[in-house]
Amino acid sequence: GRRDIWTSVPDALASTAYYLKKHGWQTGKTWGYEVVLPRSFDFRLADDDTSLTLGDWRRQGVRRANGRDFPRPGDKAILVMPAGASGPAFLMLRNFYVIKRYNNATAYALAVGHLADRIIGGGTLAGDWSREYMPLSRSETAELQSELNRRGFNVGAADGRIGPATRRGIRAYQMARGLIPDGYASVVLLARIKLDS
């Protein structure tokens, strides 16, 4: 008769389940799908805002990494590439963003979703994170922002935080230089822009 989310596993699980349901968890639906992008993919669609139906993503040439069809082509999804074009890609559904309401880190929500898939018998991720295109530290991100601003790709304040303005600036720089416009801030990109005159 007493709630105890700190030492009772059933209470902790029930509390978390209630929180997820309260924030819109869709029972019977998944969090997202690992996908493979076509060679001709328009990376400007991977902007963390563009929401298309799974059928529309399929018409863009996006396929599930395991080769299966999307079970509900009318479900809306956003393409997320947590390691840029050199890493795995995911179409994230509503339940992914419900997990992010619990903890707003993309890596956390992705880990929770993938762990759930593994528990019910799913396999490992097909894509691999690049060891070359490592993410930037906060000070390196501020340096990248300063370099982009200095070159006319306005990203706002060099605060070391990657938000929509920084991603837009990175994409604009990448397009201007003939690079894949994935908007991903990596050590490789920082090195490249510092060499750029």
Helix 138-150 × helix 187-195 angle, to 10°: 30
Rounded Cα distance between 81 and 141, Å, is 18
Return the amino acid letter for 132.
E
User: One digit per residue, pLDDT tens: the chain, 197 residues?
Assistant: 788 999 999 999 999 999 999 999 999 999 999 999 999 999 989 888 899 999 999 999 999 999 999 999 999 999 999 999 989 999 999 999 999 999 999 999 999 999 999 999 999 999 888 888 899 999 999 999 999 999 999 999 999 999 989 999 999 999 999 999 999 999 999 999 999 86
pLDDT of 128: 87
End-to-end CA distance of the chain: 68
Residue 158: C-alpha distances to residues 48, 89, 135 (Å):
21, 28, 16
pLDDT of 197: 65
pLDDT of 147: 96
Provide the sign of the torsion angle of the four alpha carbons 99, 104, 105, 108, taken in this order: negative
pTM: 0.86
Cβ atoms within 10 Å of 82's Cβ, excluding its own? 15
Output the CATH code of domain 9-119. 1.10.530.10
pLDDT of 165: 93
Domain ranges of the chain: 9-119, 138-195
Please, is 97 exposed, middle or buried when counting C-beta atoms within 10 Å of its C-beta (0-12, 13-18, 19+)?
Answer: middle
For tokens 């600036």, the residue is: 169
83 Cβ neighbours under 8 A, 6+ residues apart: 129, 130, 133, 135, 184
